[in-house]
Amino acid sequence: MAMVPSLGSTYTTLHVTIQVDPSNVEPFLAALRPCWAACIREPECILFDVFHSGAEPGTFRFTEVWTKDEKWFREHQLTKPYYEPYLAITQPMWVADRKMEFFERIGGWCYIDEAYSVGSVNP
């Protein structure tokens, strides 16, 4: 069995998948914006990217990178009060359960072209 190289850090990548009815795409994004803005101001958040599926309208994927581990994220980050209004508005829009997957980054396998950051927000 192949060994995965040690990460050497506690960086955690979280992939979140949320599905809403396509008619709720704009209201969902409007409700997400304040929560997203609060998250990217957290010192532990080093990336928060939001994607929408062209093949499956209403399906969103968030990719978040945090400088802490999954335990910290669940115990500290998810308890922040700015999630409450976001969840109160968006959970009724969900057409499936939210999927949260945690991964540890493997060093030496990251490439980001400058073009990718065009249009990014710097808090």
Per DSSP, what are the bridge partners of residue 51?
A: 61
Q: What is the mean pLDDT of the chain?
A: 92
Tell me, what's the pLDDT at 13?
Answer: 97
Distance between alpha carbon 90 and the CA centroid of its chain, in Å?
A: 15
Give CA–CA dist 76/66, Å, rounded.
12
Give CA–CA dist 41/62, Å, rounded.
16
Tell me, what's the pLDDT at 57?
Answer: 98
Give CA–CA dist 61/92, Å, rounded.
18
Give CA–CA dist 94/54, Å, rounded.
18
- The SS3 of residue 77 is helix
- Using the structure block, give the residue that is written with the tokens 């958040």: 45
Question: How confident is the model over 29-50, as pLDDT tens digits?
Answer: 999 999 999 999 999 999 999 9
Question: How confident is the model over 53-109, as pLDDT tens digits?
Answer: 999 999 999 999 999 999 999 999 999 999 999 999 999 999 999 999 999 988 888
Question: How confident is the model over 11-20, as pLDDT tens digits?
Answer: 899 999 999 9
> 77: buried, middle or exposed (CB in 10 Å: 19+, 13-18, 0-12)?
middle
Q: What is the pTM of this model?
A: 0.88
All structural domains of the chain: 21-106 (3.30.70.100)
